[in-house]
Structure 1
Amino acid sequence: MTFSFLLFSSTFGFTVVGNTQAQATETPTAVVQNVKTSTPKAHATFTTSVKSINQVVQADDYATAITQEVNWINTQVAAEKLTGWDALALVRSSTGITDAQKTQIQTNIETNYADPSTQHQPTDYARDVIGLICVGADPTNVNGQNLVQEAVTNGIAADADVYAVTYGLIAATAAQSSNLGNVQTADLQIMVTNLLGMQNSETGYWTDQYGYTLDTTGMALQALALYLGNSEFDTDGRITNAVNSAFNTITLIGGNGALQEDGNFKDPFVADAAVNSSSDAMLIAGLAACGTELPDESPLSALLSFQVLHGTDAGSFNWTPEMTYDRQLSTQQAVYALDQYSYSVDGKGSIFDFTANPVN
């Protein structure tokens, strides 16, 4: 059975979802039935262009934040700890990635596959496909293993969970846009169809097996953004409708909405869910990739409030104000979320589209 365990570790390249007590067993439907019902405020109208400059966060604010984040990765993350997500964050930043970092990240990834008997999660394959593409290496032959095919196989499996499908689709698209792995359009269509079928028709969210929605929805939107408006995939506007549905709920304050008065996002279906930088980052990246306007409540300002301003960890991101948790992972996510926002503002499209945005 294809199953992506919820792992709170940058070693496995997985996003932090909700809070650290991810033990909920309710189905998405049961969770929705238990949601609090407060009067929702109106949300913004779905558009197809990102707000050029947020009223609160100016372009130089998030550009400076990216530079500070990258500096922390460059100076505080041990070379042997760099992952594919670091590669993505660095290569899409204005600072870029060094040749030494490319070589080190390729070595780190290849080391993970030195023993062919080692078991890997679907998200591992996807992370490493993306990482190898970012450093200019071939993900189709890593110590004899074709990581692109592994990502596709996991993504199209009949029992694939939302993470296998989402990350499989992103990795397969990244490979196809890089002319690697001979990815078949039919397999991409299967993953798009399956991912659309996983959206909760009542709420517009994607929910994982633990009942958490925000990080899951943010990554689903990033995956679907790659095919938004594509006549071969977005037939009858099915992707557009899915994005619109998610946007309309995410940007509500109250009810099933995720948006808070201070610009943060909070899971409305999990009573003890914590507002955190990972959820903010994933939803900002997803909304920006799809070309939707960020709400006036300024999620960008909310995300930047988690950045450490002083000391050794200056530039990095806390998971919550009270909890550092996995600092490397939180920082990776914040960097490429701001990278994606910057790309969208500049009309460059998705950071995962290596045809429109090739790496050097």
Structure 2
Amino acid sequence: MSRKITTSFIAFAFLLIQLSFFYPVQALAQAVDTANLVVEDSTGKILAEGDLEITEDSTALTLLQNLVGTENVELDYYEDKPYIVGINGLNSYSDEVGFHYWSIIYNGEYSELGVSEIVPKANDVIQFVFVTWFNEPVAEHGTVTIKNGSSVLVDSESFEITEGKTALDALKEVVGEENVSIVDDPTYGAYITGINGIMSEGTYYWAFYVNGGFAEEGIGSYQVQPEDELLFEYVSWDTTTPEDPGTEEPEPTDPEEIDQTELNNKVKELLPVTKNYLLNAGINTAWEAIAISQFDGSVPASYLTAVKQELRDKEGTFRNVTDYERHVLGISAAGGNPTDIEGYNLIEKIYNNERMTNQGLNGPIFALIAFDSKQFEIPSDALWTRDKLITYILDAQNTDGGFGLFGSTSDVDVTAMALSALANYQDNNRVKEATNHALAWLSSVQNENGGFSSSNGEASESTAEVIIALSSLKVNPMDEMFTKENGNLISHLLQFGLEDGQFSHLIDQGGNDIATEKAFLALVAYNQFLASKNSVYDFTLTPVIDVEEEVKQPEVSKPNPVKEAPTESETQQPSSDDQQKDSDSDVGHPLPNTATSAYNVLLIGLLLLVVGVAFYTYSNKRKLI
């Protein structure tokens, strides 16, 4: 019986062996050599990645073409050798920053070999990274001019712009630190008392101008910008000799008949022309955004996008309080929310600002304007409440009725700005009295042609600022009080208008950006007045909207052939940790499963055969015993 069992078992084993040969049996899986390829843009974003099989003819170029497709790799040639121009439509190009191109990092090092000269080996890592070879920085400059009356002491002396350099630093650099005398007031900051031995005395002082306009910041806080033209002029604030006008409104001179309807029509004709000029040039400042918003609400989304980017770049922190204030106004004009923009509350950064008065009266003035622009709620325990700001501004009024940026010298522009800030508080007796006093002073220093004089001439910006103030106070800028023998505020401002919509700083000059935005803001404010609307700074009716950022692809141009990539010292090498995926698949490369189930059957058959032979041998031994 045992013989039959043994025989049957052996027969079954051979049957399994025979059946296994009816199935094709493939060879054991063979290991495949691969290289890891990564394609990254300039931000480190991975555009393509994969493990590519290496063959005898493989180069870095052929592997790249296998990864993204030959049609998606654009090449050019230098000395008959190919180099990469573009991958997946991202091509090399040059701009003012530098040359942007595709570089090869081979096993963690920038390769000096061309893309067709790199012969990959197993487990190589080849990265194609879009990098920038930066242009050598070009030194930027500004100029300093110093005048004493008609005498030019320093004529457009050049100085180099460096990070953090102030107007005071530039002045000291040009004339020597020993030739500049200043007073560093704890409240108002630094101001000049003498240059080259010419000291402030009596009614004479050193006025500070930037690019043709009265400086809105103190000499010690204003940081110079490329192409800035700084003017320091020894002037007297006593340009007229009227008696102190007091708080009584002066009797105006009988004006010539002025056709107000004709002037109003000119304003309405000019407004859209200037608006289109500004839109074509790009809305880049808060004052332009304010005016465009109040005119027809057409502030481009790109303005708010740029402000958000600036906030991200600066992490929501600015040195000067006026930067927060102008951004609040611009953001509100564009439909943003300055209490929560990119995670920052700019209103809080104003009302708790410890540098509120470092720029003179500008800080408190525009803080109050910013708070009122959308009636923002200010905590009672804030460092600067509305009441504190109003009190500070009123306390700064000079005995002649005007206001100055620093000290006791009244200035037309600063006085007008202060009136704009106080416009919402005319039910307060002290504010009303201060307003009448300031209006009387402005009228007393107004010229017969309707404008205002300064040591730098009759500037359009001063006239514009007064128009904004009067419109905010709901006082007609063509009122008799501000109409003189040869014109009024509106007729005077229109004289600076150019055919293309720009405005000049001084009569018979070309267009000026600051003059244009200020004049447009003034004419929009006047237009608001004619329509019985609120101040040009009032955005209580402007809705908050969500703005999606548009990201435009840069315009690319074909570069000149470049053979070698820059060395590590010329361009920063990306971290290898940032270039590798954090996944299990990066540890080794699994072999492909190419074996079949027939191979498993063959193994089982052989195992059964061995067991059968062993069983047969054991049975025979038992019989012999």
Q: Output the TM-score relative to the length of structure 2.
A: 0.45
Tell me which stretches of 4 or more aligned residues in structure 1 moved more than 4 Å.
1-9, 38-42, 155-160, 322-325
Please identify the structure whose Cα radius of gyration is greater. Answer: 2
Name the SS for the 1:172 alignment partner.
Answer: helix
Structure 1 residues 7 and 208 mapped into 2: Cα distance closer, same or farther (>3 Å)? same
Whether the aligned pair in 2 keeps the contact of 1:155 and 1:191 (CA below 8 Å) is: no
Question: d(CA) in 2 for partners of 1:3 and 1:275?
Answer: 27
Q: Residue 473 of structure 2 corresponds to which residue in structure 1? A: 290
Whether the aligned pair in 1 keeps the contact of 2:321 and 2:355 (CA below 8 Å) is: no
Residue among 324, 327, 333 paired with 2:518: 333
CA deviation vs aligned residue, 1:169-197 (integer Å, no higher than 9, x gap): 1111114x2xx5x3247811111111111
The aligned amino acid for 2:535 is S
CA deviation vs aligned residue, 1:231-275 (integer Å, no higher than 9, x gap): xxx1xx1111111111111112xxxx2x111111224xxxx2321
Whether the aligned pair in 2 keeps the contact of 1:173 and 1:188 (CA below 8 Å) is: no
Question: d(CA) in 2 for partners of 1:174 and 1:54?
Answer: 34
CA deviation vs aligned residue, 1:15-49 (integer Å, no higher than 9, x gap): 9xxxx7654699xxxx65x444258998458xxxx
Whether the aligned pair in 1 keeps the contact of 2:244 and 2:400 (CA below 8 Å) is: no
Whether the aligned pair in 1 keeps the contact of 2:308 and 2:341 (CA below 8 Å) is: yes
Q: Structure 2 stretches of 5 or more lacking a match?
A: 1-185, 191-207, 218-228, 253-257, 545-625
Of the structure 1 ranges 241-250 and 340-349, higher mean CA displacement relative to structure 2 is found in 340-349
| Post-superposition offset of 1:324 | 4.5
| Post-superposition offset of 1:226 | 2.0
Q: Output the TM-score relative to the length of structure 1.
A: 0.75
Report 1 or 2 for greater relative contact order, CA contacts < 8 Å, sequence distance ≥ 6: 1
Residue among 387, 409, 422 paired with 1:224: 422
Q: Residue 297 of structure 2 corresponds to which residue in structure 1? A: 96
Q: Residue 405 of structure 2 corresponds to which residue in structure 1? A: 208
| Aligned pairs for 1:109-258 within 5 A | 109-113=307-311, 114-116=313-315, 119-154=318-353, 157=356, 161-175=360-374, 177=375, 180=376, 182-184=377-379, 187-200=385-398, 202-209=399-406, 211=409, 213-229=411-427, 234=428, 237-252=429-444, 257=445
Q: Residue 344 of structure 1 corresponds to which residue in structure 2? A: 529
Residue among 278, 288, 306 paired with 2:461: 278
Name the SS for the 1:58 alignment partner.
Answer: helix
CA deviation vs aligned residue, 1:82-140 (integer Å, no higher than 9, x gap): 122111010111x4315xx1x21111212222222864322111111011111111112
Whether the aligned pair in 1 keeps the contact of 2:369 and 2:537 (CA below 8 Å) is: yes
Q: Residue 304 of structure 1 corresponds to which residue in structure 2? A: 494
Q: Residue 282 of structure 2 corresponds to which residue in structure 1? A: 78
Q: Residue 447 of structure 2 corresponds to which residue in structure 1? A: 260
Whether the aligned pair in 2 keeps the contact of 1:3 and 1:164 (CA below 8 Å) is: no
Question: d(CA) in 1 for partners of 2:259 and 2:402?
Answer: 25
CA deviation vs aligned residue, 1:211-234 (integer Å, no higher than 9, x gap): 5611111111111112222xxxx1
Whether the aligned pair in 2 keeps the contact of 1:306 and 1:320 (CA below 8 Å) is: yes
Question: d(CA) in 2 for partners of 1:157 and 1:278?
Answer: 24
Question: d(CA) in 1 for partners of 2:291 and 2:240?
Answer: 36
Structure 1 residues 143 and 124 mapped into 2: Cα distance closer, same or farther (>3 Å)? same
Please report the RMSD computed on the Cα atoms of aligned residues, expressed in angstroms: 3.4
| Post-superposition offset of 1:78 | 3.2
Structure 1 residues 66 and 44 mapped into 2: Cα distance closer, same or farther (>3 Å)? farther
Question: d(CA) in 1 for partners of 2:363 and 2:438?
Answer: 20
- More helix by percentage: 1
How many percent identity over aligned positions? 23
Q: Residue 542 of structure 2 corresponds to which residue in structure 1? A: 358
Question: d(CA) in 2 for partners of 1:337 and 1:262?
Answer: 18
